Structure 1
């Protein structure tokens, strides 16, 4: 093989390796956290990185019930941090935090991460729901951590369907039952009751009532 052909083959091999490396980076641990979700919010402040932030509402439109904040909080620092609160500026809902186990605070370990939402994970429940926001809107969400302070970003509002079903609210109220509508209300008189002004069919003059023949003859004799 000539030198020029060898140089061409080596260059092609290098390009293939570079593309493969970039693909591997794009499908790393962060991409797999909470599944691959398109266009999800992420932000980094100091040692804290928040990824895959979403507000997940009830799956059926018009149903009033709890919503949740779903996200992964990474702590790249040397000391653990506590997720003290999550607030939703401009929305009336209050977010209740719950650790994955026990009743303690939600702790993000040093060099580790915490997932909010999904079975076996910590949770951030919006108890009043998200009546102000519609699916597809962007809602500002502020995460307050013990050392980093406030970390804010805009999270998409999505229903608990498809990719987001397993990370949505655990309490799913049933949709309100539809009220049946009919064209006319039928009014019927029970067969055992007679209409006003008519003689009931079961009422008759007793056949045993008549003028006594003896009384008639006695009157005639006088």
Structure 2
């Protein structure tokens, strides 16, 4: 066998082994194999990182009422930062921010994080959420911080059902017939100011706002 032919055979063998190795890795470590789906698209600007941001509406598609913004805010800097506002670019929708302790600013501590939504955490409530948003769409949100300034991210709009039940609005929308709160619209785990009265402190990284795994599960 000539030297050039021998080199060609060796190169082809190396290529086959490389492809086999990659295939094995894909089969053993892929998100599908491990049944773990990636988180929502995260974004970061300067010291601030946003992760697992969602907008959760009333569980009943026909009910009007508040919606909540959930997610986790990380501050990798050396100074505390205040979340001054959240806006919806292009929409006349107001967001009311409430600290976990029930009063004061929503402060993201240096080197720490804060959860938005869920029982005992800070809350971001859209009083007329159902009127401003539609389930299934992606809504652009702009977070305004004291030092970093504006950080924007796309958030999925989902109803407070299935995995999102405990993160949805605590204030029930009245039923059209009686005006009484609907039992289906009272998920435990307040996201509105009324449910954010107990201080929880800064959430540790990895604590979980609902992820895209929940989003995709809820869609099925």
Question: Shared fold by TM > 0.5?
Answer: yes
Could you tell me the TM-score, scaled by structure 1's length? 0.62
Which residue does the alignment assign to 1:77? Answer: 77
RMSD: 2.6
Secondary structure of the residue aligned to 1:164 is: helix
Show the counterpart of 1:159. 159
Of structures 1 and 2, the one with the larger relative CO (CA 8 A, separation 6+) is 2
Checking the alignment, whether the CA contact within 8 Å between 1:99 and 1:105 is kept in structure 2 is: yes
CA pair 37-171 structure 1, distance change in 2 beyond 3 A:
farther
How many residues are paired up? 152
Runs of 4+ in 1 over 3 A off after TM superposition: 36-39
Structure 1 gaps of 5+ residues are: 1-11, 28-35, 179-222
The DSSP-based 3-state class of the residue aligned with 1:130 is: helix
Q: How far is 1:55 from its partner?
A: 0.8
Counterpart position of 1:95 = 95
Post-superposition CA distance 1:32-53 (Å, at most 9, x none):
xxxx876623211111100011
- Cα distance change on mapping 1:45 and 1:88 into 2, 3 Å: same
Deviations 1:1-21 (A, max 9, x none): xxxxxxxxxxx9xx99xx78x
- Tell whether 2:111 aligns with 1:115: no
Structure with higher Rg: it is 1
Query: Structure 2-normalised TM-score?
Result: 0.63
Alpha-carbon distance in 1 for matches of 2:164, 2:38: 11
Measured after TM superposition, the shift of residue 56 of structure 1 is 0.6
Indicate the SS of the match to 2:51. strand
8 Å CA contact 1:92, 1:128 repeated in 2 = no
Q: Tell me how far apart the structure 1 counterparts of residues 102 and 66 of structure 2 sit (CA, whole Å).
A: 21
